[in-house]
Amino acid sequence: MPTQPSKTLETFDNPAPAMDYTIRIEIPEFTCLCPKTGQPDFATIYIDYVPDERCLELKALKLYIWSFREEGAFHEKVTNDMLADFIAACQPRFMRVTGRFNVRGGIYTSITAEHRKEGWQPPQPVTLP
């Protein structure tokens, strides 16, 4: 039986909760509809996060991304909405979501939004020479 698009995100136990470590996810196959013209839009979605107790499960994430296929969605709104859904699902210590949209009429746009858990301090960057 074919799988279905779904807004339900799933998570699993962070296997190393004692660490502040980074998970990076890149999804080049996001597509939604332009809410003005009804025509397809395409974007690459980037998710960088520091998990707390739960991690995003990738199979459910794929169905979640698929769920935008028939929705009209403004660039600015859909990026902020995805961030809100991911936060609700896994309560990360830090998360950054970027939507890089395909060129339209000679103009390229991308949107980036961040969330930081209250009280969480980012790791002091160690820049090795």
Q: Please report, as ranges, the residues that interact with a second copy according to CB under 8 A.
A: 2-4, 14-16, 19-29, 31, 36-40, 42, 48, 50-51, 55, 58-59, 61-62, 66, 69, 74, 76-77, 79-80, 94, 96, 102-114, 116, 122-129
Q: Does 110 bind Ca ion (CB under 5 A)?
A: yes
Exactly one of 13, 20, 41, 90 is catalytic; which is it? 41
Task: Please name which of 5, 62, 73, 65 lies closest in space to residue 33, comparing C-alpha atoms.
Answer: 73
Size of interface with Ca ion, in residues (CB under 5 A)? 4
The pair of three-digit structure tokens given for residue 128, joined into one six-digit string: 């090795």
Beta-carbon contacts of 7 under 8 Å, excluding residues fewer than 6 positions away, are 64, 67, 85
35 is written with which tokens?
């809410």
Tell me if residue 41 is catalytic: yes
Binding positions for substrate are 56-58, 75-76
